[in-house]
Structure 1
Amino acid sequence: MKTALFFVGITAYLASAFYPADALHWMVSAVSLLIVAAVFGFVKPFVRALGTIFVTIGIVLLAAHGAPWRSFISGFGNMMNILSLFALIPLIALPIELGNYGARIQAIIQKTVKHSGLLYLVTSALSYILSSFMNLATLPMVYHTIRSSLELYPIEQKERFMSRAITHGYSMPIVWTPVAPIVGIVVEMTGVKWSSILPVAIPFSVLGLVLDGMMGRWIAGRRLKRLGSEAAAQIFAARENAVRPKAGQNVREKAGHPGQIIAAIVLFNILISALEKYTHAGFLLLVSASVVPFAFVWSLLLGKGKLFLTKSRTMLPAHLMKMKEQFFVFLCAGFMISAIQSTGAGHVIGEWIIAAKDVVGPGVFLLLIPFIPFLLAFAGLHPAVGLALAAESLNPQALGISAWLVALAMLIGAATAFLMGPYNATAGMMAGLSGQSAFRVSNWNAPFTAAYLGLGIILLLMLEKVG
């Protein structure tokens, strides 16, 4: 029943977005309320408490302002646009699975990568490329593609190596890729054009990747010095023997070329950019509506169109069931945001924020924005929820700060939240893959997160000075 409610809610939202009608909007709200009630007893206590706080604040605000009874229902469904994207994005990973690209990548790595420093660079870069397209599905794919190769290199703490390389590379595209719901939230709530932030966001994310590669190679260099030249030579010889092709082995058979993934990323970004320019639809809607057709066409080109449909029918219901906590928290937070908007409470919060900005100055205030989603992540809020709450109160025009600078600051903060937030899905999934606790995964990322945040602050200072 819960899966059916999730599916009906998403379908109703997409229908209402393309064919606006009061009946469809009410259906989205009613189904959202039913979802909250249906999953209430099936989510973790912390998540239940968080959602209850959000709903309670919303009810108190509406009741205090004498809102009509309809507002207590219509307030739900405010974040169904974000949830729709979360639900549909994993389907874009199917063509990568169907194309068997992982086997080809693994063969190339084992054949060409000679030392652990380069392996770290390749792992981080692969995670970056796939994250630009696959979002959270990147983590298990890169882990299972690379993990077996680690036995061929002198790496003592293999799980720490994997966790750092994957999560660092994964988090960098979050500042620009359209498949990251975070980007859609920031774009829609600040009113900036997605294409306007790309000339800065993409080079900055690549700079973050380069920084990570430099730190990884430095650590690898220290590791080799501790190991000694003789032991390193023995391990290198053993690795060469292990990767020598065996008779009759053909690793390239039925494996797609990795260059096809890069081509698909470029084409998808061109598609979204064109749709944003020539249509009046919201950014989140554009991405949500484009994901499935694009993935299906890609699968058709691979000769796997029918298999894509078969796997989608199995994958989507299973994925929706895993999203029950996201549905609960996001819909409850959306209700609170709706109450803040309809009662004018946001103006009061905005006045407090403007007062704080006047005390510290706009330049310093801009530098504090990245810390908002970062700190909220440690309070247990998903970066998307934290950003939605923050963006509702941070009005760039009222603050007297450029909207795209505010957007960039939020996105940098979101990346740090994904890097170190111990309660988000990134840490949880990496903890499951590596067999470690989420807090340990978070601690492993601390040095790079600090360096990346410092890099982000330098960028914001330079951009603020340029004006």
Structure 2
Amino acid sequence: MKSLFRLSILAIIVINLAGTLFGLSFEYLLFIAGIGALVAGFPLMGKGFQKAAIIFLVLGAGMLLFGGHPFELWVRAATSMTNIIAIVAVMQTFAVPIKIGGYGEAIKSWMDGRLKGKSSLFIFLTLTTHLLTSFLNMGSVPVTVSLFEPTLKARVPDWKRFFARASTRGYVLSVLWSPGAVNLSLVVQATGLSWSKVFIPGFLLAFLGMGASWLTELVGSHGKNALLPQADSHEGRAEGGRVVHVLGIVASFILLIVILERLNVGVSSGRTVLAGLALALVWTLSQARRPGLEAALKTHWREGLLKVGDIAPFFVAMGIFSTGLEASGFLEAAAPLIKTAADALGAASVILIAGIIAATSLVGLHPFITIVLFGKVLSYVSLSIPPITIALALSVGGAAAYMITPFAGMIMIMSRLIGVKATDIALGWNWRFSLAFLAGGLVYAFAWGALFG
């Protein structure tokens, strides 16, 4: 089953690329690949994702069956969100050049030689997680743990809390602008905006959020900024070039997507897949003379592709549900009521939706689900609010949800790796910042829309 899953994911990527580069449509082949990923990937899913996938699959299939819709609509339903699967799978390939080139060890060496205070270590950890997440997605969590754990254990007394706060915020804030972020892809899909329209305000908000996080940590330390001493490191000076190299990769990723968008190459998700795969390939080939290439590629085939085991079946099921809901006529029937409520609430309706996205995550309702649902609802009403404000509000609600819910995959992985409860990370150490970010982010969304919308 694992081999079938891997082949299905590869087929989804190849078909996505064919559509982006040559305008070819292989909808039935994509349908077969999507069903293959659903069936073969289901045993690989965590229990939470399995339950959600079953619910949405049953509801979506039920609506399509009840409506007596043709097979062509079933095909469109099963393939409607495979673009998200392709993005997540391609982002995993960046782990190959990072491993071959020893970039993890280089960052650690540079850090140990340069950072002397807790505040500088906190912001460096936040930024490193942020940048790695922009192209590694969830794969950045084990990388940052392995990079920072030895140093933090030796130099920060309450290192688990310190690490969790910095890395959680760095990770989550990347979803506001990163081309490979699933949340942002869903927001773009829901609002009909291009990625470039959301990039600049999202990027600025992410860095404002990281700055606010750093300031709260600085104020909360009550002036106790000194780290425990360690032996001097002279290697850090020699490794700065690789740190800059990683920054260059992120900048190249963004630039390549902007160029593809200006050239009108494919759709937004297709450009992300093409840019990510091209950059990962070039980066890997540049490391070809280093030892370990073959081993890294084998590891990626055996393990890397399986890392989308939760995501792939879930989004096939979500696509079936989303299309079934759209075809059922329920939203059209409810549109007058939704419009009346939206007119009565006005701008508050967007604030309410962002708050609901964050609040429902506490009971396990994933932001992926709520963003898709509210995106569908908002498509049936005409609000006198700029689309960019709606997009930013959805993004802010999703980001706040990721920080505050113990059910987020990133937080569950982190809790397992550093040996603390997921509830401690989400509710114990991040809830205040999450709520403050939600409030400040919504103010920012409306201000940006008023000025530039």
TM-score (norm 1): 0.86
In structure 2, what is the equivalent of residue 15 of structure 1? 15
The verdict on how the C-alpha distance between 1:344 and 1:10 changes in structure 2, with shifts beyond 3 A counting, is farther
- Aligned letter for 2:231? V
| Mapping for residues 60-459 of structure 1, pairs under 5 Å | 60-68=62-70, 71-72=73-74, 74-153=76-155, 155-221=156-222, 223=224, 239=229, 242-245=230-233, 257-304=242-289, 307-308=292-293, 310-361=295-346, 363-395=347-379, 398-443=382-427, 444-459=429-444
Residues 383/312 of structure 1: CA separation in 2 closer, same or farther (3 Å cut) = farther
Distance of 2:293 and 2:382 partners within structure 1: 48
Maintained 8 Å contact 1:174/1:411: yes
Q: Structure 1 residues 252, 428: CA separation in 2 closer, same or farther (over 3 Å shift)?
A: same
Partner deviation per Cα, 1:253-305 (whole Å, 9 max, x = no partner): 78852111111211110100110121241111111122222112123334558
Match of 2:80, SS state, is coil
1:211-238, Cα deviation, whole Å (9 max, x unpaired): 01101112223656xxxxxxx7xx75xx
1:250 CA drift (Å): 5.0
CA RMSD of aligned residues (A): 2.8
8 A Cα contact 1:2 1:35, kept in partner? no
**Partners of 1:91 and 1:292 within 8 A in 2:** yes
How far apart in 2 are the matches of 1:272 and 1:27?
26
TM-fit CA distance, 1:173: 2.0
Q: Deviations over 1:329-362 (max 9, x none)?
A: 221111011112333333235444322212212x
- Choose from 50, 54, 57 the match for 1:55: 57
Say which is worse superposed, 209-218 or 181-190, in terms of deviation: 181-190
3-state SS of the aligned residue for 1:266? helix
Following the alignment from structure 1 to structure 2, what is the Cα–Cα distance between the partners of residues 370 and 14? 35
Aligned residues: 448
Please state how far the C-alpha of 1:13 moved relative to its aligned partner: 5.8
SS at match of 2:78: coil
Q: 1:156 to 1:320 in 2, by over 3 A?
A: same
Q: 1:397 offset after TM fit, Å? A: 6.5
Q: Identify which range, 193-202 or 10-19, moves more after superposition.
A: 10-19
Further displaced range: 49-58 or 71-80:
71-80
SS at the partner of 2:221? helix
Aligned-partner Cα distance in 2 for 1:205–1:315: 30
C-alpha distance in 1 between matches for 2:279 and 2:386: 34
Distance 2:48 2:125 in 1: 34
Larger Rg: 1
Q: SS where residue 398 of structure 1 aligns?
A: coil
Instruction: Indicate conservation of the 8 Å contact 2:88/2:137, yes or no.
Output: no
Alignment correspondent of 1:228: none
| TM-score, with structure 2 as normaliser | 0.89
Segment drifting more, 29-38 vs 287-296? 29-38
CA distance in 2, matches of 1:250, 1:36: 47
State the distance in 1 between where 2:337 and 2:47 align. Answer: 32
Q: Check whether the contact 2:351–2:393 (CA below 8 A) recurs between aligned residues.
A: yes
> How many angstroms does 1:83 deviate by?
0.9
Amino acid at match of 1:424: A
Higher mean C-alpha deviation, range 380-389 or range 440-449: 380-389
**Structure 2: runs of 5+ lacking an equivalent:** none
For the residue of structure 2 that corresponds to 1:400, the secondary structure is: coil
Query: 1:453 is paired with a residue of what secondary structure?
Result: helix
Q: Distance in 2 between matches of 1:43 and 1:267?
A: 33
2:35 partner letter: L
Distance in 2 (CA, whole Å) between partners of 1:380 and 1:3 is 30
Contact 2:265/2:271, CA 8 A, preserved across alignment: no
How far residue 167 of structure 1 moved from its aligned partner, in angstroms, is 0.9
Residue 227 of structure 1 corresponds to which residue in structure 2? none
Relative to 1, partners in 2 of residues 1:389 and 1:317: Cα closer, same or farther, differing over 3 Å?
farther
Secondary structure in 2 aligned to 1:214? helix
1:193 Cα deviation from its structure 2 partner: 2.0
What's the % identity of the aligned pairs? 22
The one-letter amino acid of 1:427's match is I
Where 1:221 maps in the other structure, the secondary structure is coil
Separation (CA, whole Å) in 2 of partners of 1:398 and 1:149: 53
CA deviation vs aligned residue, 1:118-166 (integer Å, no higher than 9, x gap): 221221122222223322222222222222122443x432111111111
Other-structure match for 1:25? 27
Aligned to 1:229: none
| SS of equivalent to 1:441 | helix
Q: Which runs of 5+ in 1 are unaligned?
A: 225-231
**Cα separation, 2, equivalents of 1:313 and 1:264:** 23
Give the secondary structure class of the aligned counterpart of 2:165.
helix
Which region of structure 1 is more displaced relative to structure 2, 272-281 or 395-404?
395-404
